[in-house]
């Protein structure tokens, strides 16, 4: 087993493709047509020594995306310049107009009359209804400087349009499309402001659609962009109404409200935005309103480490939602001192389910799994050195894939990864209570955490019977140098129970962690938020997807005051975080700050300026 290749990828390589396809997660990143994997690597030096069949896409800060034939994955990982390899993960929009309770009007409607002017706000999401007046200037021209649609296929039509059956309407786009993707990227089309303005000037809607066949199918990106930065051209106004926009429509399945994209598409998007800001010599706020639950939740995934690096390039701030897993019953944690039973309910019609167990590597304990029918199987190898590796076993009508990981160069934790599948393809997992029994053998810390996939991928009723709501923030919300945003309900001025929790002065085990890594950093209104929709009107949205752009817009106001107006040329990065934390307001029912639910409190832009 290669210690430079993550556990989930190693299990995927050891699992037959026909089984992988039934799990969805294990197959993410694999292209069956070409037999290749799309992989994320952290590297140093040069990757020129990789075989010619490996395509290398350099990003920033020592990260790259490789496209590798499956037979060469382990050989590529063995390259001495490569430090670590991960497969892509699916990320989900975290949804369930700006509020006066965010103290926005105090700096926009009166002195110093901030508007975000001169600052770039990047919305990496499901696209945007670019033609809406909220994204135009008073003269009708666009506020979008660049719009990269990653979903454009090689024949020039966006994938979600192909799937909708509308592609026949856009034959002319193949002849008139812009000349390919942005420099350094392999897919998609970049529209600049001139192209968008020329499109907006066309008299017929059919002509505009043919020239720019891009659709925000879910409306998620349009709502997020509107909350962060809608113009003053209507009665509705975003937080930073004069900020310039960078828009990236992520690749992936954006055809419904829980649309997902892969890690690799997010890495490309962040790299693109950071490079654009450097090229334009402008301060940048990046909004990421999505997440997933895979990882140790300690900032150790390559995506989180990448964002920590990206946040230090140029004058940059990255705002990330804490997710909506707070009340989803997808997490159990504790400290093992004696036998412990963890009950997991699996609802009907569940096609498969993955379970992560994270523990201290030095702890040794037996793990027994009891199926609803009473059959019990040991998941822990008889040897207790837990040196890593995977295997499969049958428990009643289920096939269980088990993988024992090792600590990585970036995490001291050990992962035990389970994939539960029905034995027969096309059937479902056995409904009922599945019980994990943990029996101590040698305990040093006893700390453990179970995680299930995101609630949007599970059937209602699938979850732990006695869940732990703490440390349910989604990844990449546990990255250190991003601003992690939770949600509160402005109607009750209280924490919204769906909002992903982190850790305040103590973690889930009661251990002190200190102010520096408290998560979330703060909260913003996230229930019943009015936002533009793709139908030309407005609708109410709920979720940390929509609290995050309130903070992104607030950060843009601060950067305008500090950098653009010259009050503080160093007002970016961790300094923005410090100012927003320092001015956060108290939330009803919360007495200790920072805490795992609301961090340092609710955002207040008008109090953030020194």
| pLDDT of res. 580 | 97
The per-residue pLDDT for 515 is: 56
Write the DSSP symbol of residue 599.
B
CATH, residue 74: 3.30.70
529's enclosing H/E stretch is strand 529-532
pLDDT value at position 254? Answer: 42
Neighbours of 94 (CB within 10 A): 33
Distance between CA atoms of residues 310 and 467, nearest Å: 34
As beta bridge partners, residue 292 has: 475
Query: Do 134 and 209 fall into the same domain?
Result: yes
Q: Is 245 within 8 Å of 144 (Cβ atoms)? A: yes
Residues 351 and 427 in one domain: yes
**Domain identity same for 66 and 111:** no
480 and 458 in one domain? Answer: no
**Distance separating the N- and C-terminal Cα atoms of the chain:** 53
Domain co-membership, 369 together with 449? yes
Q: Is residue 92 part of a domain?
A: no
Question: Any bridge partners for residue 416, and if so which?
Answer: 357, 404
Backbone φ/ψ region at 182: left (φ over 0), alpha (ψ -120 to 50), beta: beta
Q: What is the pLDDT of residue 412?
A: 85
- 281: in domain: yes
Tokens encoding 279: 């090229």
Q: Are 540 and 364 in contact (CB under 8 A)?
A: no
Please tell me the distance from the alpha carbon of residue 458 to that of residue 449, in angstroms, as a whole number.
19
With a cut of 70, which residues of the chain have pLDDT below it?
Answer: 1-2, 94-102, 153-180, 186, 253-260, 381-388, 505-517
Distance of alpha carbon 365 from alpha carbon 438, whole angstroms: 6
Q: Indicate if 218 and 313 belong to the same structural domain.
A: yes
pLDDT value, residue 378: 92
Bridge partners, residue 506, by sequence: 512
Beta-strand runs (E) in 276-409: 284-288, 290-291, 316-321, 331-335, 340-346, 353-360, 364-370, 376-378, 389-395, 398-404
Could you say which of 87, 119, 148 is where a domain stops? 87
With beta carbons less than 8 A apart as the criterion, state whether 347 and 517 touch: no
End residue of a domain, out of 87, 122, 155: 87
One domain, residues 112 and 202: yes
CATH number for the domain harbouring residue 185: 3.40.50.200
Q: What is residue 170's predicted lDDT score, i.e. its pLDDT?
A: 47
Q: Of 405, 429, 464, which residue sits at a domain end?
A: 464
**For residue 538, which phi and psi values (nearest 5 degrees)?**
-135, 150
Residue 394 maps to a domain:
yes
- Let me know whether 276 and 149 are in one domain: yes
Instruction: For residues 70 and 104, state if they share a domain.
Output: no
What local confidence, expressed as pLDDT, does residue 255 receive? 41
Radius of gyration of the chain (CA): 24
Are 429 and 572 part of one and the same domain? no
Predicted confidence at residue 256, as pLDDT, reads 40
Q: Are residues 271 and 195 in the same domain?
A: yes
Q: Would 60 be classed as within a structural domain?
A: yes
Return phi, psi of residue 247, to 5°. -120, 130
Per DSSP, what are the bridge partners of residue 48? none
In CATH, what number is assigned to the domain containing residue 419? 2.60.120.1290
Q: What is the pLDDT of residue 109?
A: 85
Q: How far apart, in Å, are the Cα atoms of 34 and each of 72, 413, 556, 564?
A: 13, 35, 43, 48
pLDDT at 408: 84
Count: domains in the chain? 3
Give the integer Cα–Cα distance in Å for 567 and 558: 10
Q: SS3 for 102? A: helix
Same domain as 384, residue 318:
no
Half-sphere exposure of 339 (CA within 13 A, CB side): 5
Is 306 contained in some domain?
A: yes
Q: In what order do the strands lie in the sheet containing 331-335?
A: 331-335, 447-451, 353-360, 413-422, 398-404, 389-395
93: in domain: no
Residue 404 lies in a domain: yes
Beta carbons within 10 angstroms of residue 18's beta carbon: 8
In a domain, 555, yes or no: yes
Q: Specify the pTM.
A: 0.92
Could you tell me the residue range of the domain that residue 404 belongs to? Answer: 331-464
- Give pLDDT tens digits for 112-144: 999 999 999 999 999 999 999 999 999 999 999
């Amino acid at each position: 087993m290669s210690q430079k290749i993550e556990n989930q990828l190693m299990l995927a390589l050891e699992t037959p493709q026909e089984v992988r396809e039934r799990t969805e997660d294990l197959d993410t990143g694999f292209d069956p047509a070409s037999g290749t994997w799309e992989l994320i690597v952290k590297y140093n030096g040069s990757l020129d020594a990789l075989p010619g069949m490996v395509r290398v896409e350099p990003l920033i800060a020592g990260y790259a995306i490789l496209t590798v034939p499956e037979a060469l994955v382990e050989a590529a990982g063995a390259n001495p310049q490569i430090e670590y390899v991960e497969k892509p993960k699916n990320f989900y929009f975290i949804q369930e107009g700006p509020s006066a309770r965010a103290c926005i009007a105090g700096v926009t409607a009166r002195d110093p009359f901030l508007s975000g002017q001169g600052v770039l706000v990047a919305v990496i999401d499901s696209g945007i209804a670019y033609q809406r007046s909220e994204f135009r200037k008073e003269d009708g021209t666009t506020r979008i400087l660049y719009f990269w649609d990653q979903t454009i296929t090689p024949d020039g039509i966006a994938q979600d349009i192909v799937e909708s059956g509308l592609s026949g309407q856009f034959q002319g786009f193949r002849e008139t499309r812009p000349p390919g993707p942005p420099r350094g990227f392999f897919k998609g089309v970049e529209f600049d402001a001139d192209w968008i303005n020329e499109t907006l000037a066309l008299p017929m809607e059919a002509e505009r659609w043919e020239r720019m066949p891009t659709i925000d199918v879910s409306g998620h990106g349009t709502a997020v962009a509107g909350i962060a930065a809608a113009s003053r051209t209507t009665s509705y106004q975003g937080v930073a109404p004069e900020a310039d926009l960078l828009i990236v429509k992520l690749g992936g399945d954006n055809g419904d409200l829980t649309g997902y994209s892969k890690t690799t598409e997010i890495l490309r998007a962040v790299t693109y935005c950071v490079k654009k800001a450097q090229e334009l010599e402008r301060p940048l706020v990046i909004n990421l309103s999505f997440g997933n639950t895979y990882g140790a939740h300690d900032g150790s995934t390559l995506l989180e480490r990448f964002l920590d690096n990206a946040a230090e390039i140029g004058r940059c701030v990255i705002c990330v939602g804490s997710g909506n897993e707070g009340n989803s019953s997808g997490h159990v944690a504790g400290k093992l001192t004696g036998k412990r039973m963890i009950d997991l309910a699996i609802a009907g019609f569940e096609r498969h389910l993955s379970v992560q167990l994270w523990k201290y590597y030095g702890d040794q304990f037996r793990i027994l799994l009891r199926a609803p029918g009473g059959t019990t199987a040991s998941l822990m190898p008889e040897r207790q050195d837990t040196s890593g590796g995977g295997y499969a076993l049958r428990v009643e009508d289920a096939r269980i894939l088990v993988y024992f990981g090792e600590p990585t160069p970036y995490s001291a934790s050990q992962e035990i990864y389970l994939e539960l599948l029905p034995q027969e393809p096309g059937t479902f997992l056995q409904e009922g209570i599945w019980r994990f029994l943990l029996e101590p053998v040698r305990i040093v810390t006893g700390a453990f955490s179970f995680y299930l996939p995101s609630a949007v991928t599970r059937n209602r009723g699938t979850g732990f019977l006695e869940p732990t709501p703490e440390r349910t923030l989604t990844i990449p919300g546990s990255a250190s140098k991003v601003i992690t945003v939770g949600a509160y309900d402005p109607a009750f001025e209280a924490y919204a129970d769906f909002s992903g929790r982190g850790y305040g002065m103590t973690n889930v085990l009661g251990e002190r962690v200190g102010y520096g890594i408290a998560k979330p950093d703060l909260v913003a209104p996230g229930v019943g938020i009015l936002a533009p929709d793709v139908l030309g009107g407005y609708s109410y949205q709920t979720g940390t997807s929509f609290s995050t752009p309130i903070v992104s817009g607030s950060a843009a106001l601060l950067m305008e005051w500090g950098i653009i107006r010259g009050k503080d040329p160093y007002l970016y990065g961790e300094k923005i975080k410090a100012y927003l934390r320092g001015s956060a307001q108290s939330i009803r029912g919360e007495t200790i700050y920072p805490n795992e639910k609301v961090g340092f409190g609710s955002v207040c832009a008008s109090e953030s300026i020194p």
